[in-house]
Amino acid sequence: MTRLGDLERAVMDVLWDLVPATSPGVTVREVADALDGRELAYTTVMTVLDRLAGKGMVQREREGRAWRYRAAASREAHIAKLMLDALDLGGSRDAALVRFARSVTGTEAEVLRAALSAEAGLATPEAGLTDRVEDPRAGRPALADEATDR
C-alpha cells in the first residue's frame, strides 16, 4: 500500500490540483513555489519528487537539465487503490464491504448503486453513467467520467 507522508501528500496535491493530465508536467521549482506557506529547500522538494517517482506515484521526463513531473494517476485512482489495499489487510473482505456500505450517506449510496449498475450494464440514462469507453490500463470498460480524469 502506497501511503504518503505529510510532505509527500502536499506535493501530490500540487500535482493533482495544478497539473492537467495532458500537461508535460512541472519542474521542482514550480512545485516548491506552489507549496504555499512552507519554507522548503529546493533539494528537499527534489528528494520528495524523486522518492514519489520511485514509488510509482509520479512520472518524470527529462527536459534539458531539469525534470518535469506529473502524477502517474488521478487522485481518485489513488484513493480507490488505497481502499482496495485496505480490503486486503485481512479478515473478511465481504464483512468490510458491508460495514463500509452501511457507513456511507444516502447520496454516496446512490453513487455506488449507479456505478455498480453501470458496471453490470444495467444503468439507466438518468444515472448519467451509461457512456462506456475502454480503459487501456486496466483492460476493462471504464465509465466515461473515469476516462476523462486521465
pLDDT band for position 14 (cuts 50, 70, 90): very high
Please tell me the distance from the alpha carbon of residue 85 to that of residue 89, in angstroms, as a whole number.
7
Query: Which of the pair, 109 or 45, is modelled with greater confidence?
Result: 45
| Average pLDDT value for residue range 78-96 | 88
Q: Where are the domains of the chain?
A: 6-71, 75-119
Residue 122 has what pLDDT? 65
Region 6-71: CATH code: 1.10.10.10
pLDDT band for position 133 (cuts 50, 70, 90): very low
Asked whether the predicted pLDDT for residue 69 surpasses 90, the reply is yes
Element (H, E) at 58: strand 58-63
Asked whether the predicted pLDDT for residue 49 surpasses 80, the reply is yes
Q: Which pTM was predicted?
A: 0.69
pLDDT band for position 1 (cuts 50, 70, 90): low
Residue 3 has what pLDDT? 77
Residue 141 corresponds to which cell in the numbers above?
Answer: 470498460
What is the rounded radius of gyration, in angstroms, for the C-alpha atoms of the chain?
A: 18
Task: Calculate the alpha carbon distances from 51 to 46, 47, 100, 104, 127 in Å.
Answer: 9, 6, 32, 34, 40
DSSP label at 148?
T
Asked whether the predicted pLDDT for residue 75 surpasses 90, the reply is yes
Q: What share of the chain is helix, strand, coil (3-state, %, to 5)?
A: 50, 15, 35
User: CA geometry: angle at 84 spanning 80 and 89, to 5°?
Assistant: 145
pLDDT band for position 91 (cuts 50, 70, 90): confident
